[in-house]
Amino acid sequence: MMTVYSVHPINPQRRSMEAVARVLSGDGGIAVYPTDSVYGMGACVTNPRGIERIARFLEKDKDRPFSFICGDFSQVSRYVRLSNAHYRLMKRHLPGPYTFILNATNLVPKRIAPKRRTVGIRMPNSVVALELVRLLGEPLANTSVNLSGEPANAPEAIMEALRHEADVMLNVGPLDDPEPSTVVDLTGDAPVLVRPGKGEWDGGAD
């Protein structure tokens, strides 16, 4: 059964945050948490059992891939091939409701990127999500929480749907204006908008 911690979205209670970080740092730990777009579900990127648990859950919805929630560009550069141009573009938009797809390094587990060696990078404008990553000292392998094909925003519905799938949840209540992140592919010569979402996109122009 999932343990739920209700926290303030701007000043989350440290004891609750540390409790969730301990679960994620354990063998196979999975958490649900808010981002700046929708609620996410994730495990530490170095936690193969947790990633496998989420991957099995996603077998029912193959259109929901993993992304990485990173706390800073130092973490980003470990897991994707980041050019100076990529860095400048992402720096203008992050933290924010964007997912940038880049070529993965060998540190990305094959379970996350089994076919194409690419991975989405997120750095949400969410105090709770970024503080959780900071406490962990590593990114989260993340997927959005969808219920009935739509982004989930009611904490009670999330608790009911995922009570046997996740171990812990950080609950900040319903999110303002829930909408999936804007997805931009940076693996080619120019940025390509893959999915319009919550973040405004100008084509990446300076």
Fold annotation for 3-195: DHBP synthase (3.90.870)
Domain edges within the chain: 3-195
> What's the pLDDT tens digit per position in 113-171?
766 689 999 999 999 999 999 999 999 999 999 877 777 788 999 999 999 999 999 99
Residue-level pLDDT at 205: 63
The percentage of the chain sitting over the pLDDT mark of 70, rounded to a whole number, equals 95
Q: Assess whether pLDDT exceeds 90 at residue 27.
A: no
Residue-level pLDDT at 150: 73
Q: Assess whether pLDDT exceeds 80 at residue 34.
A: yes
Residue-level pLDDT at 1: 87
Residue at 75: amino acid letter: Q
Cis peptide before 191 (omega within 30 of 0): no
Residue-level pLDDT at 175: 92
**pTM (whole model) above 0.75:** yes
Q: For residue 142, what are the β-bridge partners? A: 42, 67
3-state secondary structure the chain: CCEEEECCCCCCCHHHHHHHHHHHHCCCCCEEEECCCCEEEEEECCCHHHHHHHHHHHCCCCCCCCEEECCCHHHHHHHECCCHHHHHHHHHHCCCCEEEEEEECCCCCCCCCCCCCEEEEECCCCHHHHHHHHHHCCCEEEEECEECCEECCCHHHHHHHHCCCCCEEEECCCCCCCCCCEEEECCCCCCEEEECCCCCCCCCCC
Q: Looking at the chain, how many residues does it have?
A: 206
> What's the pLDDT tens digit per position in 48-80?
999 999 988 877 665 667 899 999 999 999 999
